[in-house]
Amino acid sequence: MLNRINALFMLAVGIVMALVWPAMAQDKPRSGGELIFAVPSEPPSYDAHQEETFGVIHPVAPHYNTLLRTDPTDKTGTKPVGDLAESWTISSDQKTYTFKLRSGVKFHDGSDMTSKDVKASYDKIMKPPAGVKSLRAASYGAVESVETPDAHTIVFKLKWPESSFLLNLASPWNFIYKADILAKDPHWYEKNIMGTGPFLFVEHVRGSHWVGKKNPNYWDKGKPYLDSYRALFIKSSSAQVAAVRGERAHIQFRGFTPADRDSLVKALGNKITVQESPWDCVLMVNMHHDKKPFDDKRVRRALTLALDRYTASKNLSRIAIVQDVAGIQVPGTPWATPPEDLEKLAGYGRDINASRAEARKLLKEAGVPEGFSFTFKNRGVPQPYEPVGIWLIDQWKQIGLNVKQEIVEASAFHSMLKRGDFEVSMDFQCGFIVEPDLDIARFLAVSDANYGKHKDKVMDELYLKQARATSPEERKKYLRQFEKRLLDEEVHVFYTLQWHRIIPHNAKVRGWMVTPSHYLNQQLDTVWLAQ
């Protein structure tokens, strides 16, 4: 009976969404109003080049432009389009990228934006001066030089072809800063705002709010539609939900739980719109390769074979922000593994009884006794770590393992991973754009995020081959080989379930589309409020 009620309720949600979306698609944008949104985290600094939290992107991105951006109408978040770049060409050998910049773009102080500013910004990202951090310098190892033949042309020359280069340039973190300011003080942007974006900076009251107002001289005429925006810093999940329910905030851009979604829909009815997407975030399991018995790939394979991912997808998606069964790329995006290929990998077969029988056999062959005990370390964050951790321990019990879970405080979790102070541990990854180069580089032997300490030259070579492949089909071939070695042949790590992004928001909010990344579509230039 309960399942029937749940099914009817979700059908009702679907009907509401079906009614709202056509209206949203057909409505003409109107100008005016203030968008109010909740942000669960506050910016450590204002400099996106050195930060990695959405607490920077959500309040700060509307003040800036990037060279390229991802298409705000593309739900996969994988299509690069021009932002400050009006057009571009790529040489036949795919090693020279020439960008023509828009004319008439001005910084908020009224000065002209030119190729000098774009070059200075990328120089800071790729080769930061002493004492200045850049979290993304390693992403541009292929760049040989950046040249500015004239004020509105910028040329990137590469050492080798790189499939991900355009999307890398579309990174939401690559704010374009003013060259003259950077020359005087490369730390200036850590505490100050000066961009070319659709909104001017008004104020930041730490612990309270951030306000931006419409840039009347914005280069994209007619935009932004909003008069202003206000970001409210609210840490508590329940307080964020209460703000949306009480219509004190229109939206929270990171995501809510299934229960939060359902309560908001129940409370607000057709005043709420729900957008959902697979999320470029995933929980993985690390096994330390230098610690017995996890140095034996038969044991590692047994741990992934024990997992009934398909049943978990149905059950956990009701209570946690996870849903899809996936490989190394987000389902529904260009490089995702076809389901028929996924099912051939260890732990992804549909016959869970056969998988668990194989797991028990492998453990016996490896000399692991029935009832073997080990400690699984999990991050002290409720969603989705807690429910996924409980599920993992139950699954391993099905193959005769006795696993104790140890919760590590969130602030200490990364340090624990870096020290290698674990046998088996949860790990996580969130990407800012769905792109293999960015999502799977952590599995290379030299990566700082290779916490299990595996050393696999075959995988390292496959990574380079897929990164430098010049055709999509060739790249897919290498990606499938890389995935099979990582998750099946060697089981260096394994994936649990893909996160699922749920954005229930006030139905007045139009012109914003959910993507698999909570870092994308945050310039707010396309967003408007219906009456």
Query: In what helix (H) or strand (E) does residue 126 lie, and over which residues does it extend?
Result: helix 115-126
Residues 251-307 pLDDT 10s = 999 999 999 999 999 999 999 999 999 999 999 999 999 999 999 999 999 999 999
Cα end-to-end distance, the chain, whole Å: 40
In whole angstroms, give the CA distance from residue 349 to residue 343: 5
Q: Which two structure tokens, joined as six digits, stand for 363?
A: 């453990």
pLDDT of residue 135: 83
Residue 214 has phi, psi (to 5 degrees) of -55, 135
Per the listing, tokens 């030119």 go with: 114
Cis peptide bond prior to 384, omega within 30° of 0: yes
- Cβ contact 488:472 at 8 Å: no
Residues 474-499 pLDDT 10s = 999 999 999 999 999 999 999 999 99
Q: What is the mean pLDDT of residues 382-393?
A: 96
Residue 174 CB coordination number (10 Å): 25
pLDDT of residue 10: 43
Residue 211 CB coordination number (10 Å): 17
Q: What is the mean pLDDT of residues 109-138?
A: 94
CATH fold of 278-501 reads Dipeptide-binding Protein; domain 3 (3.10.105)
DSSP string, 286-316: EE-TTSTTTTSHHHHHHHHHT--HHHHHHHH
Q: Which two structure tokens, joined as six digits, stand for 357?
A: 């029988």
Residues 64-121 pLDDT 10s = 999 999 999 999 999 999 999 999 999 999 999 999 999 999 999 999 999 999 999 9
In whole angstroms, give the CA distance from residue 348 to residue 343: 5
Torsion over CA: 259, 261, 264, 268 (sign): negative
In whole angstroms, give the CA distance from residue 67 to residue 442: 26
- Location of each CATH 3.10.105.10 domain in the chain: 278-501
Under the banding of pLDDT at 50, 70 and 90, the label for residue 134 is confident
pLDDT of residue 139: 87
Under the banding of pLDDT at 50, 70 and 90, the label for residue 18 is very low
pLDDT of residue 136: 86
In whole angstroms, give the CA distance from residue 90 to residue 98: 7
- 398 burial level (CB within 10 Å; 0-12, 13-18, 19+): middle
Long-range contacts of 145-150 (CB under 8 A, 24+ apart): 146/119, 146/122, 147/119, 148/114, 148/115, 148/116, 148/118, 148/119, 150/115
Q: Is the pLDDT of residue 24 over 90?
A: no
Report which DSSP code applies to 199.
Answer: E
Under the banding of pLDDT at 50, 70 and 90, the label for residue 448 is confident
- Cβ contact 122:159 at 8 Å: no
In whole angstroms, give the CA distance from residue 361 to residue 306: 12
pLDDT of residue 504: 98
pLDDT of residue 531: 86
Which of 123, 171, 179, 167 minimizes the C-alpha distance to 147?
123
Global pTM exceeds 0.75: yes
Torsion over CA: 60, 63, 66, 72 (sign): positive
Which of 106, 98, 332, 341 minimizes the C-alpha distance to 216?
106
pLDDT of residue 16: 41
- Cβ contact 425:283 at 8 Å: no
pLDDT of residue 3: 42
- Location of each CATH 3.90.76.10 domain in the chain: 39-197
pLDDT of residue 15: 37
- Cβ contact 409:415 at 8 Å: no
Parallel, antiparallel, or unpaired for β 402-409 and 373-380? parallel
- Cβ contact 294:424 at 8 Å: yes
Under the banding of pLDDT at 50, 70 and 90, the label for residue 427 is very high
Our CA angle for 253, 256, 261, nearest 5°, is 115
Instruction: State the average pLDDT for the chain.
Output: 94
Q: Is the pLDDT of residue 12 over 70?
A: no
pLDDT of residue 52: 87
- Cβ contact 444:456 at 8 Å: no
Q: Which two structure tokens, joined as six digits, stand for 128?
A: 């930061």
Q: Is the pLDDT of residue 374 over 90?
A: yes
Q: Is the pLDDT of residue 22 over 90?
A: no
In whole angstroms, give the CA distance from residue 508 to residue 11: 22
Q: Is the pLDDT of residue 401 over 80?
A: yes
> Which residues are paired to 513 by β-bridges?
none
Burial readout 229-242 (b: 16 or more C-beta within 10 A, e: otherwise) = bbbbbbeebeebbe
Q: Does domain 39-197 have CATH number 3.90.76.10?
A: yes
Angle of helix 385-397 relative to helix 309-316, nearest 10 degrees? 140
pLDDT of residue 137: 87
